[in-house]
Amino acid sequence: MRTQVGIIGAGPAGLLLSHLLHLRGISSVVLERRSRAYVERRVRAGVLEQGTVDTLVEAGVGARLLREGLPHQGIELRYDGQSHRIAFEKLVPGRSITVYGQQEVVKDLIAARLEAGGDVRFEIEDVAAHSLEAEPYLTFGGERLDCDVIAGCDGFHGVSRPSIPPGVLQVFERDYPFAWLGVLARVAPSSEELIYARTERGFALHSMRSPTVSRFYLQVPPDASADEWPDERIWAELKARLETVPGFTLETGEIFEKGVTPMRAFVAEPMQYGRLYLAGDAAHIVPPTGAKGLNLAVADVRVLTEALDRFFSTGAADLLDSYSESCLKRVWRAQHFSWWMTTLLHTFDSDDAYGRRLQLSYLDYVTSSEAAATTLAENYVGLQ
Ligand code: RFL
Ligand code: PHB
């Protein structure tokens, strides 16, 4: 078997890459370890930057997103018994975000790939990448797939990054001393916009998926398990962290999804080796506070598509050679923003009274200075 681009992983990065390449007449095969049902059900991100929405719409996979996605013109910061709105329409006119579940993006992309006769294979468990320096190929289940290029879109725990020889990559990482418990509940959102809440009990986030489904996150200890969090405990803690301003009541409902996500940051440089190019979580992850992970994956794929198009249409490898450098500028901006949002809003060491004063001082600054609020807004909606 032979294809131009062998893609490992059918998450947002791998599927979007395959779709964008198809639109430019470049062939690809996507190999995914999990089943189609599993990847379509996997609950993750929810916030799409303007640039991500534009990419999906321009690629012809945005019809349902435009119909069902919830456009937002601001977010709320809640702390110290006060509520403050960061107003995108005023601070970054014409730019906003859309709340639309990552698994809905994945469903739309899979449907588009299959409808166009794309080769997406699920439940392929033993993919390995070989001969990365020249004439690369993938093996799986006794088969061999020769490719011009391999795209490692297999997430943080995938096989593509570890297939790069030792010593090539420089790794930068940070683990946070807490995790997020995320839940989905069948209840109308209690707020029109997302609420990022800082309290002495820890951080809480009120997000949503639709007019009838709400999404919540709670800062929990790093070793927490969802089993320790029966529904009543979750609602009590969400109320304690969110019902902190006059007149706000949190509506409750049936919780139908629960999971704990570690909070970690990671970047591997460069994002390429020989004919292997890493995109999305395979190369970098951010803590979810800034809602950047999926958006970074989409941005990588945009850069890679341009580079591959040029390579296959003219033979010029210049854009491929500078792929990592082009992506890393945005990656590091998002790393900084995610670190900053995380540091601002979470409870760290309970003995660190000095650190708490710094957080509150910065929150006061962000909510009272237009310059500071604009910094938050332009990073949140995504820098161009
Ligand atoms: P994915 O989505 O992890 O997809 C990788 C795919 O590769 C498959 N795979 C393999 N396939 C074949 N062989 C192997 N050996 C393989 N190993 C793995 C996997 O099964 C999977 O299908 O990576 P991708 O495509 O790079 O996409 C990245 C995003 O998923 C991720 O950055 C975001 O979900 C992060 N994130 C958020 N990002 C945002 O932009 N906005 C948000 O609001 C946001 N919230 C979040 C988040 C991530 C979260 N979790 C659970 C990590 C909230 C949470 C709670
Ligand atoms: C989500 O809705 O899943 C979500 C929203 C904002 C974040 C992270 C996750 O910062």
- pLDDT value of residue 281: 98
| Overall pTM surpassing 0.95 (yes/no) | yes
Q: How many whole angstroms separate alpha carbon 49 and alpha carbon 372?
A: 20
Same domain, 58 and 137: yes
**Ligand 1 contacts CB of residue 301 (under 6 A):** no
Q: Is a pLDDT exceeding 80 seen at residue 351?
A: no
Average pLDDT, the chain: 97
Give me ligand 2 centre to Cα 264, in Å: 15
pLDDT over 80 (residue 217): yes
| Whether residue 190 sits in one domain with residue 294 | no
Ligand 2 pocket, residue 289 CB under 6 Å: yes
Ligand having the closest approach to the CA of 280: 1
pLDDT reported for residue 106: 98
User: Which are the contacts of 382, defined by CB distance < 8 A and separation ≥ 6?
Assistant: 49, 50, 51, 52, 95, 97, 295
Query: Hey, is 198 helix, strand or coil?
Result: strand
Cα(114)–Cα(151) distance, rounded to whole angstroms?
19
Among protein residues, the one with the nearest Cα to ligand 1's atom 3 is 155
End-to-end CA distance of the chain: 39
81 domain-assigned: no
| 245 within a domain of the structure (yes/no) | yes
Mean of the pLDDT values across residues 143-167? Answer: 98
What local confidence, expressed as pLDDT, does residue 1 receive? 94
For residue 132, tell me if it sits in a domain.
yes
117 shares a domain with 23: yes
Name the DSSP letter for residue 351: T
Interacting residues of 79 by C-beta distance below 8 A, sequence separation 6+: 197, 198, 199, 345, 360, 363
Confidence of residue 45 (pLDDT cuts 50, 70, 90): confident
CA torsion through residues 54, 60, 65, 67, sign? positive
Largest CA distance in the chain: 64
The residues with which 74 forms a beta bridge, in sequence order, are 87
**pLDDT confidence of residue 350:** 75
Mean pLDDT of 317-322: 98
Say which ligand is closest to the CA of 295: 1
Residues 27 and 107 occupy one common structural domain: yes
Domain count, the chain: 2
Task: At 153, list the tokens.
Answer: 């879109």
Q: Is 295 in the pocket of ligand 1 (CB under 6 A)?
A: yes
Q: Give per-residue pLDDT as tens, 62-75.
A: 999 999 999 999 99
Any catalytic annotation for residue 206? no
Q: Are residues 225 and 300 in the same domain?
A: no
Roughly what angle, to the nearest 10 degrees, separates helices 293-314 and 50-58?
Answer: 40
The strand pairing partners of 82, in sequence order, are: 79
Q: Are 220 and 202 in contact (CB under 8 A)?
A: yes
Tell me the pLDDT tens digit for each residue of 233-247.
999 999 999 999 999
Tell me the percentage of the chain whose pLDDT exceeds 70.
100
CA distances from 294 to 11, 48, 70, 122, 361 (A): 10, 8, 17, 21, 30
CATH number at residue 11: 3.50.50.60
Mark whether 250 and 281 lie in a shared domain.
no
Residues 111 and 27 in one domain: yes
pLDDT at 384: 76
Query: What are the b/e assignments for 124-146, b being 16+ CB within 10 Å?
Result: beebebeebeeebbbebeeeebe
Q: Give the pLDDT confidence score for residue 34 in this predicted structure.
A: 98
Residue span of the structural domain in which 313 resides: 5-72+96-173+264-340
| Confidence tier at 27 by pLDDT (50, 70, 90) | very high
Ligand 1 center–CA 155 separation, angstroms: 6
> What is the spatial distance between Cα 230 and Cα 227, in angstroms, rounded to a whole number?
7
Tell me the best of 194, 257, 341 to mutate to test the pocket of ligand 2, counting ligand atoms within 8 Å of each CB and taking the most.
194
Same domain for 217 and 246? yes
Segment 137-154 shows an average pLDDT of: 97
Catalytic residue among 196, 217, 273, 277: 196
Instruction: Calculate mean pLDDT across residues 360-370.
Output: 96
Mean pLDDT of 153-163: 98
pLDDT (0 to 100) of residue 316: 98
Residues 263 and 281 sit within 8 Å (Cβ to Cβ): no
Q: Is there a catalytic annotation at residue 72?
A: yes
